A and B are shown apart, each in its own frame.
Chain A
């Protein structure tokens, strides 16, 4: 996977930067501070573009590559912006044996994007995720914080329509 610099221009606000700097100075002297800082930075910006990673690297006096290496290691960190509606389909075992693969494929078809991508209008982004622990409701997907369980392929269309 060769990640390119995001094609979406970076629009960080002064307010966001202020919050980031506060987070960094709060954690800076802790041992192993990089992970919590990255997590909070992603909360602030929604993703971790190069501009944000550079601030973190400079402030922590560590190489940018070290930051990037950590970011690309963990699935939850994203160097790309996410959609306004973030769709995640659980491909954990319980969901998988109950057909979540078909749900995922239907979403790919409907949205015209692959996993990890965002629709051109920035509305939806699609990801496959690991077990979210709602195995009793398998197969499951989430859109932002809403959980949709016991899904069928037909439900996908119905649910997407709700967001259109």
Chain B
């Protein structure tokens, strides 16, 4: 049990030494082998690797010299499973089971890194660099992710070693609730979950509501497709969220918190459970924390697969045990939220910044970012980009820096077409805005939004009408069905888009589409409904020519919309072997052996079997 700052500091000192091998690269006579235990690397088999690693280490008799640490996400998911060896900081990527014996023997036992298994970018002749030297990491600045990939999230001492639970001690012993709120206000921290509402202001409102019972909620229902920032924080640094919720509880006068986390995140759920249990055992969560009389409890609630529950009122409705349908605001949650009591809700990444702000001061945080968007932002990079993964950059970094430098650009020599931010509520950003500094207001200005931080890159092979349709499909599927505008409006939007991608659209449909988008924006009940048309509006704004091509020329320039494609046999390449004709399931191809075959478009299903079978690349679909 930790009841005093002396006890906390004693734990800190002891475990600081343990983490110094990896944090400060101090050689203390043994090696830390960090294996990513985040969802991405676990999916690519990191758990199995740890098992093999342990066996091999035992076989080599070096158990005493090696400390295996299962960490949270390093960020470079595309290179998973990832393994780092400290104190030197060498970086093995896409580690395979078969490589382990060699790595253990050569590197862990004999101190010679296995160059060919290292991430190529860190190997420069004889020089072996570290993760920090990669272009992926150089421009990053880690605040929310500072412990991810560094500590073992299942060991509370390692969090304590990294100043864990110092912030709540500071708050409880030397600050008033108003001080805390003022610090947050001064820091300029805005909600990282989507809207970007000033966090301090939210807390101020909730503090001002008079009620014996108030609640602190954490939104970990990260539902944007392609976004996994919050998951990584929960997997890699769960205590940071717990501690921040305690601070929020102190600030607004609440003693109960709920974390609403997606059930699709089993690892995050497990780590949270462990973290809550450990914090409770240490007395850092629960009754009378640090003997100050302040008590705070946290309950975990699992989502059950409803995107709309990321909306604050829907999330609360869901915790209450109902269909997760949003409620009209006002009343705002700060006045009447969960169980009709004053409530604050912040997302994981927002909380992940709070302790750092308390410890380092508002000015430190406000020193990063742009005028109206302070601090850093975590993005989940995905889609047509080399370095798929998680990056944290100061607000104001340009999209170009993120995509080209950190993300390593578009693979396969393809051309960048658009970046999608903000998930289904956001929009597509065209090449001309690549140099806009990313912050809340700029993104909204160019027709997208920050959202929770998903950043999907698209290249010339992506059809923007199809992308808009994809997002609308998502929205239709995830609409709660409560309000008319979203329930029927988005469905009709989707149907019009389908019509267009099938080549049946008219120019009037484009007008109707746009009109309906603006209608939904104005009329939907909740934030999700109001932003649902954004993917359509932004693609209409920047890629109208693609819409026109579908509608007027009945052509899909990216070659995605199947209904608009035809299969052709190039006569100059066709040898007349008849294979395609024999493979065609509907007998749509005919010809004479030895001379070029032809496709009967009235029969062709565009299944592509012919293309797959042609040995001469003589069949194209365009």
Report A's interface with B, CB cutoff 8 A. 31-36, 38-39, 69-70, 73-77, 91-94, 96-98, 129-138, 140, 147, 149
Contacts and interface: CB of A to CB of B under 8 A. Distances in A.
A57 to B, nearest CB: 12
Contacts of A74: 303-306, 324
Given A36-B302, A92-B225, A129 B323 contact: no
Contacts of B382: 93-94, 135-136, 138
A96 B423 CA distance: 13
B499 to A, nearest CB: 19
Nearest to B387: A136
A35 B321 CA distance: 5
A136 B225 contact: no
Interface in B257-297: 263-265
Contacts of B394: none
B519 interface: no
A134 B39 contact: yes
B242 to A, nearest CB: 20
Contacts of B319: 32, 35
B304 A75 contact: yes
A32 B321 contact: yes
Please tell me the size bucket of the interface on B: 35 or more
A133 B228 contact: yes
A94 B264 contact: no
B451 to A, nearest CB: 12
A136 B320 contact: no
A131 B306 contact: no
Contacts of A137: 40, 43-44, 77, 80
Scoring A74, A94, A133 by chain B CB atoms within 10 A of each residue's CB, the highest score goes to A133
Contacts of A32: 301, 319-321, 339
A71 B307 CA distance: 15
Contact of A36 (B78, B231, B301): B301
A70 B321 contact: yes
B347 interface: no
B388 A133 contact: no
Nearest to A148: B43
Interface in B473-487: 480
Contact of B226 (A31, A34, A92): A92
A136 B301 contact: no
A69 B77 contact: no
B513 interface: no
A24 to B, nearest CB: 13
A56 B231 CA distance: 31
A36 B258 CA distance: 13
